C-alpha cells in the first residue's frame, strides 16, 4: 500500500480500470469469478453475441432480462465511492484521471464518477440493432426506462419483443458483444480509453481477471501497473499487487492519499 500511495503521488496521468469484482459487494455476480453466482459456467460466449441475438432474439433477451434483474436495486459500495474520492484527489492535484470500467451496471455513474468510460456499454439503455437507424449504432440508443418489457416478461415471444420506435426492429441490449468491436458505438468511448492508457504514468486495475481486450491493451502500455485483488491468482507478470478486498483497500487508499 505504501508503494502504491507513493507512486500515485508521483504520477501525473492516472487510469483506473475496473472489472466485475467491483460489483460483488453490491450483490452483482461476476462472469469469470469463483463466487456462487458467477455466470461463466453458462455458455456466455454463445449467448453474448450479435449472431445469437439475430438467430434467437427471444432467448437472447430472456437471458439478458434474467442477468439485468440482478442489477435491480444494486447500490454503489464503498469501493465505488472511494474511486469518486480518488478522482477528486487527482483533479485537485492537477492530474489527468480517467476511470475505465468493463461493467455495465452503471454503479460508478451512480456513485458520482464523472471522468468515466463505460467501455462495454450500459444496462440502463437499449438500442436498435440496425446500423444507421437514428436509435442504433454508431450514435443512437434509448433509455431502457422508456421501453416496456412488461408484455415480453409476461409471455416471451417475437411478437412481444419491444420494438424500435423509428424502424420497428426488435431492440437489442446496449452492450458490447463478443463478436463485436469496441469502436462500433461512440458510447463505448474506446478511443478515449486508449488515448488515456497510452499517455498514462500509472494504471491501477481493480477486480478484473485481465481477460478482455481493454485490459490486454492496458497491459501492453509502458505505464507502471498495479492491481487490487483479494488473491494473487492470475496476476500478470509486471503488475504489482495490493492484496485485499477492494471495499476495504480503496477507502484506505483514499485516507492515505489525503494524509500525504
Q: Which of 80, 108, 120, 185 is catalytic?
A: 120
- Count of CB atoms situated within 10 Å of the CB of 190: 22
Give the integer Cα–Cα distance in Å for 233 and 31. Answer: 16
DSSP helix/strand/coil, 122: strand
Cβ proximity of 108 and 116 under 8 Å: yes
Interhelix angle for 2-10 vs 246-258, to 10°?
60
Give the integer Cα–Cα distance in Å for 251 and 257. Answer: 10
Cell of 180: 463485436
Strand partners, 78: none
Identify the CA nearest to 26 among candidates 80, 63, 86, 64: 80
Identify the CA nearest to 107 among candidates 191, 2, 4, 28: 28
Identify the CA nearest to 137 among candidates 175, 177, 182, 186: 186
For residue 59, report the phi and psi dihedrals to the nearest 5 degrees: -65, -35
Cell of 175: 452492450
Give the integer Cα–Cα distance in Å for 127 and 174. Answer: 6
174 part of the active site? no
Active-site positions read 120
Amino acid at each position: 500500500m505504501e508503494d502504491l500511495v507513493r507512486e500515485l503521488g508521483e504520477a501525473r496521468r492516472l487510469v483506473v480500470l475496473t472489472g466485475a469484482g467491483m460489483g460483488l459487494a453490491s450483490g452483482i455476480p461476476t462472469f469469470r469469478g469463483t463466487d456462487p453466482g458467477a455466470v461463466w459456467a453458462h455458455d456466455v460466449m454463445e449467448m453474448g453475441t450479435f449472431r445469437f441475438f439475430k438467430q434467437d432474439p427471444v432467448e437472447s433477451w430472456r437471458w439478458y432480462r434474467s442477468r439485468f434483474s440482478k442489477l435491480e436495486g444494486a447500490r454503489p459500495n464503498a469501493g465505488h465511492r472511494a474511486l469518486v474520492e480518488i478522482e477528486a484527489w487527482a483533479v485537485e492535484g492537477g492530474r489527468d484521471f480517467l476511470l475505465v470500467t468493463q461493467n455495465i451496471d452503471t454503479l460508478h455513474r451512480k456513485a458520482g464518477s464523472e471522468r468515466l468510460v463505460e467501455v462495454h456499454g450500459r444496462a440502463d439503455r437499449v438500442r436498435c440493432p440496425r446500423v444507421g437507424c437514428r436509435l442504433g449504432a454508431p450514435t443512437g440508443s434509448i433509455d431502457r426506462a422508456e421501453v416496456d418489457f412488461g408484455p415480453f416478461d409476461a409471455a416471451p415471444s417475437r411478437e412481444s419483443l419491444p420494438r424500435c420506435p423509428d424502424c420497428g426492429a426488435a431492440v437489442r441490449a446496449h452492450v458490447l458483444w463478443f463478436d463485436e468491436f469496441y469502436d462500433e458505438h461512440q458510447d463505448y468511448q474506446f478511443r478515449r480509453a486508449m488515448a488515456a492508457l497510452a499517455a498514462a504514468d500509472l494504471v491501477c486495475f481493480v477486480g478484473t481477471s485481465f481477460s478482455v481486450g481493454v485490459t490486454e491493451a492496458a497491459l501492453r502500455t509502458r505505464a507502471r501497473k498495479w492491481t487490487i485483488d483479494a488473491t494473487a491468482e492470475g496476476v500478470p507478470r509486471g503488475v504489482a499487487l495490493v492484496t485485499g478486498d477492494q471495499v476495504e483497500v480503496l477507502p484506505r487508499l483514499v485516507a492515505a492519499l489525503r494524509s500525504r
